[in-house]
Homo-oligomer: A and B are copies of this chain.
Amino acid sequence: MLPFFKLISADLEAVEIELGRVLIGEDDLLNQTATHLLRAGGKRLRPAFALLSAKVYTDDVSGVWPLAAALELIHMATLVHDDVVDEADARRGKPTVRALWGNEVSTHTGDYVLAKALIQVSGYDRPLISRVLSGTCVKMCEGEIIQMHGIYQANLRNYLHRIQCKTACLIESSCKLGAVAAGAPDAIHHPLGRFGHYLGIAFQVTDDILDMVADESRLGKRVGGDLRQGIVTIPVIYALNRGGSAAERLREIVENRSKTETEVEEAIELTRELGGIDYGRHIAGAYLEKSIQQLKRLPDVPARESLRQIAEFIQIRAY
C-alpha cells in the first residue's frame, strides 16, 4: 500500500471486491480472462484518484465505489486491446490475455470489460458523469491512433497531444468525476479535473523516461520498448532537435525499423548524453508544479495533502 493511499485503504478494498463481483459473469472463459486481469495487479491509481478527490469534499465516499471500479475497468479494457495491437506477450512481468488465449478472445474481453464499466456508470443520475467518461473513451482511441500513424515521427506537439489523449484524459476524469459522484460543486471538481490533467501529463512523461532508464527488474520488461516499437517520446524528441552528429546518429537508429539490441542501447545512451532525459524530467516537473497549483484552490483537508504527495512521488519516480 502506497502511503498516500492510507486515507482510502478501506475504500480501495471495497473497490477491489466490487471489481471481482462485476467481472464475474455467466461465461466461464470470460471469467477466466477477467480473473487473470484482476490478478495481474496494477496500482489502482485511477480508483485512488477518484476516491481521494471525493474525500476532498466529503468523508463517506461509498457512493463513488462503482465509479472507481468503472475507471479501473476502462483502463484494463484499453490495456487488453493495446496488447492485441502491440502484439505484447507480457505486461508487468506476467503473460497477457493475448499470450494465453489469443487475439480473438482478447478483443472480445476488452469489449466485455468496457461494457461492464458502462453498467457501473449507468447507475449514476448525474448525466455529467457518463458524458465526461464517454468523451474520455473517444479521446483515448484518438490517442492510440495518433500513436499508430505518428510512428517514427519526432514532433513535440504531436507527442503532447498524444499523451493527453492516451493518459491524461482518464486521470483528469478520475479526479473530476470522483468529486462529481460524491456530489461536489464546480468549485471543487473543476480544480480537481485540472489537477488530474497536469498530473496525467507528468505521469506519462515520467513513464516514457522510465521506459529508457528504469531498472529492468522493477519495470517488469526490457528498457527501450518504445524505441523498439518506433514510438518516439519526449527525451528522444529533445535529443533529435539538438542537431549535430550525435543527433544524426540517433535519428539513423530511431528510423531504422530493424534495429539491433546494441543499437537500442546506443540510442538510449545518445539520448541521455544529448540531455533528453534531463529535459523530460524538467517537463514532468513543470507539469507537476502546475498540478500542485490547482490543489491550492481546494479546502485544506487530509485528502488534498495525499494528492500533493502523489504528485511528489511521481517527481521522485523519474529519478
Q: Which residues from chain A sit less than 8 Å from chain B, CB to CB?
A: 25-27, 29-30, 78, 81, 84-85, 103-105, 107-112, 114-116, 118-119, 121-125, 127, 130-131, 133-135, 137-138, 140-142, 144-146, 148-149
Complex interface: chain B residues within 8 A of A81 (CB): 107-108, 111
CA distance A84 to B106 in the complex (A): 11
Q: Quick check: B111 and A141 within 8 Å, CB to CB?
A: yes
Q: Quick check: A118 and B118 within 8 Å, CB to CB?
A: yes
Given A29-B149, A115-B141, A123-B131, 14 more pairs with CB closer than 8 A = A25-B138, A27-B146, A30-B145, A81-B111, A85-B107, A105-B148, A108-B141, A108-B144, A111-B144, A112-B138, A112-B145, A114-B137, A118-B137, A122-B133
Nearest-Cβ distance from residue A227 to partner chain B, whole angstroms: 19
Contact pick for A142, options B30, B78, B84, B119, CB 8 Å = B30
Q: Tell me the interface secondary structure of chain A in the complex.
A: helix
**A and B contact pairs by CB, cutoff 8 A, 25 listed:** A27-B145, A27-B146, A29-B148, A30-B145, A78-B111, A81-B111, A84-B103, A85-B103, A103-B103, A108-B141, A111-B114, A112-B138, A112-B142, A112-B145, A114-B137, A115-B138, A115-B140, A116-B138, A118-B133, A118-B134, A118-B137, A121-B130, A122-B130, A122-B133, A123-B127
Complex interface: chain B residues within 8 A of A134 (CB): 115, 118-119, 121-122
Q: Quick check: A148 and B114 within 8 Å, CB to CB?
A: no
Q: Quick check: B104 and A107 within 8 Å, CB to CB?
A: no
Among residues of B, the one whose C-beta sits closest to the C-beta of A112 is B141
CA distance A29 to B78 in the complex (A): 19
Among residues of B, the one whose C-beta sits closest to the C-beta of A113 is B141
Complex interface: chain B residues within 8 A of A141 (CB): 30, 108-109, 111-112, 115
Complex interface: chain B residues within 8 A of A115 (CB): 134, 137-138, 140-141
Complex interface: chain B residues within 8 A of A111 (CB): 78, 81, 110, 114, 137, 140-141, 144
Complex interface: chain B residues within 8 A of A29 (CB): 145, 148-149
Q: A27-B146, A112-B145 are in contact. Are A124 and B127 (CB under 8 A)?
A: yes
Q: Quick check: A105 and B137 within 8 Å, CB to CB?
A: no
Q: A118-B118, A127-B124 are in contact. Are A84 and B107 (CB under 8 A)?
A: yes
Complex interface: chain B residues within 8 A of A108 (CB): 81, 85, 141, 144-145, 148
Complex interface: chain B residues within 8 A of A130 (CB): 118, 121-122, 130
Q: Quick check: A142 and B85 within 8 Å, CB to CB?
A: no
CA distance A114 to B113 in the complex (A): 13
Q: Ordered nearest first, which 9 A-B pairs have the shortest CB separation?
A: A118-B134, A115-B137, A112-B141, A122-B130, A122-B131, A115-B138, A119-B134, A85-B104, A111-B141
